Structure 1
Amino acid sequence: MRRYLFLLTFGLMGAGILISLGVWQVQRLAWKQDLLGRIEAQIDATPTSLTEAVNPQFQRYAPVEATGTFGPDHIRMLASRKTTGAVHRIIRPFEADGFGPVLIDTGWLPDEVPVPGAPDAQVTLVGNLDAPNEADSFTPAPDLDNNLWFARDVPAMADVLGTQPVLIVLRQTPENDLGVTPWPVDTAGIPNDHLQYAITWFSLAAIWVFMTAYFVLRTNRSPR
């Protein structure tokens, strides 16, 4: 009888822990879906000025509109697109009227395609602020001799191009063709694996219950 009670108690406790972890992941799923919904609504909102979006606090994903002129320099960053393969993001300095120099992620070019020159005329851009955290200890250092980067390290890029550490990701092509395809901000890069985690925990709980029942029945049928 003691062995029977021990197996039953141990099994119920284990199943309870696994089920509680599954419920927690379901709660996290609801939280993440709400967060993604709010981010998507913010991305598609009416653009504001850079000053409003940055002061008093930097608002990531905030839509902004800026008028100014591009500088002559650029940075190429190696990236990959599922439908295209290897591409280069083109980051340019931009002198925004009333705000100062910032970085513009203008979009992408296929690998080995020459980078076109920036327009000389004043342009009005619509995009979203971003603060990507792509560089880590495994990211290769930029090849400055060949102007090739491997992550959007905003402070380092701003230092090289002489701008403020503010990045605008272009949302739509301006009237002046920049010769690239915009790669606008979206929520595709924000992980949302909570449903898979919940299924995993609930599956483990079901297996735990099955194994507990098996051992209890086996113990109950064992000869005394």
Structure 2
Amino acid sequence: MIRAARIALIAATALASAGFVALCAWQVQRLGWKQDLIARVEQRLAAAPVASPTAEVGKPDEYRRLRLQGRFEAGSVPVQANTELGGGYWVLAPLRLDDGRAVLVNRGFVPPAQRSIESPAGPIELTGLLRLTEPHGGPLRANDPAAGRWFSRDVAGIAAQLNVPGPVAPFFVDEAADPAQPQRWPRPGLTVVRFANNHAVYAATWAALAVMAAAAAGWLWREERRRPGTSN
């Protein structure tokens, strides 16, 4: 039984090494995916703004720069936010485009004391980043439209609360800051476009654990073969 336990330990250590190798390979794949994502997003951010898409959008469209022309409709919804300026709210308001469609625009951040701000009247042109809808809220922070508590930018839910006539685009747009204009509330241009990329560190960690586990398995196997009664 003692020898069987030693053999089982050797096998477990060898299997652990193989598992660490698999995890290392997975992190290398994730590294390639993340680098590709960062490159694609940087390319979109550097591209000239384009008109609002009329077809369905998905992940490949996120952070695409758009140019919108239209008029803001009445009403806005504050969505809780934490930014470099502290805690407060994003102000989401419906923009009726010249072609008749409506797009929810995140006009920017306001501190708690200024959560209710009227949208500008008259024709307007703005640029911003296409963002995908954020339905349902966050972990342990479900949106509560009846109470006016929004924790995520749920396009369908916010459009319904504002009674925005259709058609409504299935995405929202983070308004970009205009350097030619003085700073104002809501404060646009606070979108954080930053992706954690620690996959190389994780891959190196798993590789080191794989080497250590393999070395331990090899040492245990050599010790087992040296024991009396074990054939060479």
TM-score for the superposition, normalised by structure 1: 0.80
Q: Which moved more, 1:200-209 or 1:24-33?
A: 200-209
Task: Tell me the equivalent position of 1:156.
Answer: 157
Name the residue aligned to 2:69: 67
Which residue type is aligned with residue 209 of structure 1?
A: A
* TM alignment of 1:44-193, pairs within 5 A: 44-50=46-52, 53-55=53-55, 57-58=56-57, 59-81=61-83, 83-133=84-134, 135-136=137-138, 138-145=140-147, 147-161=148-162, 162=164, 164=168, 165-173=170-178, 179-188=185-194, 190=195, 192-193=197-198
Q: How many residues align?
A: 217
Q: 1:211/1:19 Cα in 2 relative to 1: closer, same or farther (>3 Å)?
A: same
**2:114 counterpart SS class:** coil
Q: Percent identity?
A: 24
CA distance in 2, matches of 1:85, 1:177: 16
Residue of structure 1 equivalent to 2:220: 215
Residue 31 of structure 2 corresponds to residue 26 of structure 1: no
Quick one: which amino acid aligns to residue 170 of structure 1? E
The aligned amino acid for 1:107 is: G
For 2:149, give the aligned amino acid: L
| Superimposed CA distance per residue, residues 183-220 of structure 1 (whole angstroms, 9 cap, x where no aligned partner) | 454532x5544334323321321331232134234424
Distance 1:114 1:177, change over 3 A: same
Following TM superposition, by how much is the alpha carbon of 1:136 offset from its aligned partner in structure 2, in angstroms?
Answer: 4.9
Aligned to 1:197: 202
C-alpha separation between the residues in 2 aligned to 1:179 and 1:14? 56
Gaps of 5+ in 2: none
Q: Go from structure 1 to structure 2 and tell me whether the alpha carbon gap of 1:48 and 1:99 turns closer, same or farther (over 3 Å shift).
A: farther
Task: Tell me the TM-score normalized by structure 2.
Answer: 0.77
Cα 1:61–1:84 shift into 2, 3 Å? closer
Native 8 Å contact 1:36 1:187 kept in 2: no
Distance (Å, rounded) in 2 between the aligned partners of 1:210 and 1:45? 51
**Contact conserved, 2:145 with 2:161, CA < 8 A, in 1?**
no
Q: CA deviation at 1:180?
A: 1.6
Letter in 1 for 2:91: I
Call closer, same or farther: CA 1:127–1:107 in 2, change over 3 Å: same
Q: Aligned-residue CA RMSD in angstroms?
A: 3.1
